[in-house]
Amino acid sequence: MLLFAAGVFLVGSGVGMITQAGLGTSATTSFAYVLSFIFPPSLGTFAFLVNLCMVLAQAVILYTHGNLRSAKEWIGLVLQVPAALLFSSSIDLIRFVLRHIPLHAYWQQILFLLLGIIVFGAGVAMEVTADVIVLPAEAVIKVISETWNHDFGTVKTIFDVTLCAAAILISLLYFGEIRGVREGTVITALIAGSTARFFLKLLKHKGAEPSG
């Protein structure tokens, strides 16, 4: 649980750093990010609300298909809520801490974006290694793919594209331009998975080493 909590904190911190770079945000956070431009609550607050909707979506899907009967299944679902709260709070915390870091040059933004992706990838690897629960965004994709027997990667791609499309649509309707979804969103989508796999292999290698 401690490893999982540390991983979630790093995932949220990574998203906060990616966003703070000013080149967009991660695909799963894009919808919440655009909403934070329009309404007073912070990005972390909207990220939590979006994640809460994902938990509710899982509950509806699982319950209607008779897959939410045991106490263990309910507990696994409910535990996603405090995990989402930690994730969302980490986003706001890291953005507050790093708010005065100057990122005027484009190369500085790119460097900070890549650093955020590294932190994000390390957090994902720790979360997977802990093997306790998963954050709502990954959990709802898993539920959809298993319920309707679709490939996880395909569902995740559709899910991420849908969130980005919704963010772009709201941004265009409200601002008349695209905000929150930029090249940083694409870069994160392209290399975050590979970064997470690198750290996952590293953690497994360390875990396999004999102690003493």
Q: Which of 39, 40, 51 has its CA nearest to residue 15?
A: 51
Percent of the chain with pLDDT over 70: 97
Does residue 211 surpass a pLDDT of 70? no
Structural domain spans, the chain: 2-206
Q: Which of 132, 166, 197, 179 has its CA nearest to residue 28?
A: 166
> Under a CB-based contact definition with an 8 Å cutoff, are residues 12 and 87 in contact?
yes
DSSP letter at 210 equals P
Question: In this predicted structure, what is the pLDDT of residue 207?
Answer: 61
Residue 97 sits at the vertex; the CA angle it makes with 96 and 103, to the nearest 5 degrees, is 90
Q: pLDDT tens digit string along 130-151?
A: 988 889 999 999 999 999 999 9
For 12, counting Cβ atoms within 10 Å of its Cβ (0-12 exposed, 13-18 middle, 19+ buried), the class is buried
| Residue 93 vs residues 156, 161, 166, 179, 183: alpha-carbon distances, Å | 27, 27, 26, 22, 24
Q: Which of 48, 13, 1, 2 has its CA nearest to residue 122?
A: 13
> Under a CB-based contact definition with an 8 Å cutoff, are residues 84 and 5 in contact?
no
Q: pLDDT tens digit string along 38-88?
A: 999 999 999 999 999 999 999 999 989 888 877 778 888 999 999 999 999
Written as one letter, the residue type at 149 is: N
